[in-house]
Amino acid sequence: MWKMQLHYGFDELKNFDFMAVIPIILPFIAVGIFLVLLALIDLYRYRKTRESVLMWTVIILFVNTLGPILYFVIGRKDSERL
């Protein structure tokens, strides 16, 4: 079963010309990572005053694109009341 999936997934990827793709996709990935890093750094700086640091870390890391945004909009506001 696993072999089947590998065949469909990764074997086919070898036909993919990665070197041609990287210069185009790199800015895309960089922007995404920058957003995540910005949120994480901010969370780390104010870790003392934030309510649920662990929850936000998980959300920022694993909820694609929307995680950091949710943190900036909702996650930062909670701290002001403290």
Partner 1 sequence: MNKFIVLLKKEFVQMLRDLKVIWLPIVFIFLGITQPIVTYYLPSILGALGGGQGITIDPSMTAQKGGEVLAATLGSQFDQLGFMILVISMMGIIQTDKANGMLAFILTRPVTVISYIAGKIVSNYLIAAFSVTIGYFVSYLYVNYLFTDVSFSHMITALLFYLVWVLFIVSFTTMISTIFNSQGIIALISIVFLIGCRIIVGLSPVIDFVNSASMSKHAMEVLISGSVNSKAIDNALVTLFWIVLILFVINYWIANKKVNHE
Residues 39-78 that bind partner 1 (CB under 8 A): 39, 42, 65, 68-69, 72-73, 76-77
Is residue 61 within 8 Å of 36, Cβ to Cβ?
Answer: yes
Among 6, 21, 58, 63, binds partner 1 (CB under 8 A): 21
User: What gap in Å lies between CA 37 and CA 78, rounded to an integer?
Assistant: 20
The DSSP code sequence of 40-54 is HHHHHHTTTT-S-HH
Contacting positions for partner 1 (CB under 8 A): 8-9, 12-13, 15-16, 21, 24-25, 27-28, 31-32, 34-35, 38-39, 42, 65, 68-69, 72-73, 76-77
